Amino acid sequence: MSVRLSIIIPVYKPRADIFDKCIRSLKNQALRDWEAIFVLDGPCPEAKTTIKHNIGTHDYKVLEIPHGGACAARNAGFAEAKGDLLCFFDCDCIIEPGASAMWVEQFDKHPEIGFIYSGYKFIGDKFAIESEPWNPYTLKIRNYISACFPVRRSLYPGWDTSLESLQDWDFWLGVLGKSHELDFAPDKVGRFVPGFAFATAFPDQDSISGRGCGVDVWLSRLDAVKRKHHLTDRDICVSSLEYRADALGLAKLINADFLTVANDKPHRYKTIIQVGFSLGKNVEKHAAMFEEKNVKKVLFWTGDNISEIYHGVSFKQIDAISTLINGMVLQFCEDVEAKKLLTRAGFKAEVLPLPMGSANPLPLPEEKKWAWDISGVYSPMLSAIEQSLPDIPLEQVGPATDLSNYVGLLHFFQDKTVSSTIRRAHMTGRHVVSNVQQPFCGFVDDKWEMEKFITEAVSRVRSLSHYPVSPEAAEYYSPGISKLMGVLR
């Protein structure tokens, strides 16, 4: 039988009930052309019996090595593997039935990828790790890929037996390093597939994760991997729970780390910059940054935050948060109107748009289509505008949409402040029609009668569709990195 995928399973003092389910889940996969290599990390007659009883007739091998840890067992398993795809699976994990077949299909369809990963669940618990989209920049900051996902044999870097923990991070950094040598494109070598590929036992104090990631040893073990891969220690970390694209873009601009939560682990950052601060469901997570001592704290408010303050937050909560952060957090917002609104709510913010890079006006696309980003109260107006523009397609956009594919942007929100979407549109030279009364925003007043509002919006879209790109708007909204860095010094 051919072998596409070799699944290598280190086995050390397995929990009998979960190990039984692990083997059965592997045996019952949809994929058929695979092999199992069980590596006993020291003698374990009970494990041999469990394997033989549950694996059935499928192709498998059992190796036994002197006890040397999971990394030594994985390396021993690799030496026996035949597949061109390798998966180092744990003996306390239960694979989803279609996961491995999907992996092989993805590798066959996309020869440019070197490994595939997803999220995973915990057995008997609602908690799960969702992981995040592939980005070589963020992998060099902290690991977010489980060791239990498949990689091409050509990219196998070996498992470092000298590391006390964070071996999975070291492994994927090694894969990234080999991808450079073999001419894989770094931004494509990893492929993130949303969802959950397996379930695993929750780590306890005796597991590798439990022993290796305690707060008392975290920094020293992080340092060991960083030194090995020549990774930079940075003084600044940019974080965001809800505005990942903007925060990661800022981190790259100022050569900072990016983490969803900057202080969930021990760190040595001197400055933490948070993009966005919701006073809604995530208020405790957002506010956690402000409890840091001896760290400069910077907050960039977003238009969504301001809208939330005025439409869904109590005065009591606003007073509590403003008291907490005023005087200890440098607060910035997009424009003068945003500052006025925040001042009314009791927050001390200055105008400094979130840096997004240099202006880059691009030629307008041939198709005269427009993007739209509006709040729900303007839906009736948008519907009427669409009916009045049958020859100009209107498409909804999200935070990561490439606005250079559009001629312009329709943007209507009640808080009437410049959003990151408006700035992204201007920085690529795109036109904007909005109820935001700021330069280059093609202002239409939502205080007008509805018929006039719709008529004026339609007129502006039609006229601006024939205008070339606007470099003046791009330069106006292009942020000054130097101003932010001056504030941070």
Structure confidence by residue, pLDDT tens digits, 360-394 = 888 889 899 999 999 899 999 999 999 999 999 99
Cross-strand bridge partners of residue 223 = none
Residue 465: burial class (beta carbons within 10 Å; 0-12, 13-18, 19+) = middle
Of 401, 326, 402, residue with least CA distance to 360? 402
Q: Which helix (H) or strand (E) holds 27?
A: helix 16-27
pLDDT score at 126: 72
Kindly state the tokens that stand for 88.
Answer: 């180092």
d(CA 459, CA 317): 43
DSSP for 203-225 reads: P-TTSHHHHHS-TTTHHHHHHHH
**Alpha-carbon torsion 30, 34, 35, 41, what sign?**
negative
Cα-flanking dihedrals φ and ψ of residue 373, to 5°? Answer: -145, 105
pLDDT score at 211: 55
Contact partners, residue 340, CB within 8 Å, separation at least 6: none
pLDDT score at 213: 66
Cα-flanking dihedrals φ and ψ of residue 388, to 5°? Answer: -85, -10
Q: Which domains does the chain have, with CATH numbers?
A: 5-225 (3.90.550.10), 234-354 (3.40.50), 370-476 (3.40.50)
pLDDT score at 337: 84
Of 46, 56, 41, 57, residue with least CA distance to 15? 46
Kindly state the tokens that stand for 249.
Answer: 């873009």
**Alpha-carbon torsion 200, 222, 217, 289, what sign?**
negative
Report in angstroms the alpha-carbon separations of 28 from 21, 66, 87, 193, 254: 10, 30, 16, 22, 49
d(CA 403, CA 137): 23
Please calculate the CA angle 99-205-44 and round it to the nearest 5 degrees: 65
Q: What residues in the chain have per-residue pLDDT under 50?
A: 208-209
d(CA 159, CA 74): 7
**Alpha-carbon torsion 14, 18, 21, 25, what sign?**
negative
Cross-strand bridge partners of residue 119 = 196
Length of the chain as a residue count: 489
pLDDT score at 479: 58
d(CA 177, CA 284): 38
pLDDT score at 415: 76
For residues 274 and 303, is the Cβ–Cβ distance under 8 A?
Answer: no
Pairing of strands 34-41, 5-11: parallel
DSSP for 188-199 reads: TSEEEEEEEEEE
Report in angstroms the alpha-carbon separations of 12 from 46, 170, 205, 390, 464: 11, 21, 15, 66, 68
Kindly state the tokens that stand for 469.
Answer: 């790109």
Pairing of strands 5-11, 85-88: parallel
d(CA 449, CA 446): 8
CA 471 to chain centroid = 31
Q: Which helix (H) or strand (E) holds 455?
A: helix 450-464
Question: How many Cα atoms are found within 13 Å in the side-chain-facing hemisphere of 447?
Answer: 4
Within 10 angstroms of residue 54's Cβ, the number of other Cβ atoms is 17
pLDDT score at 440: 86
Kindly state the tokens that stand for 451.
Answer: 């018929």
Residue with tokens 């007073």: 319
pTM of the model: 0.84
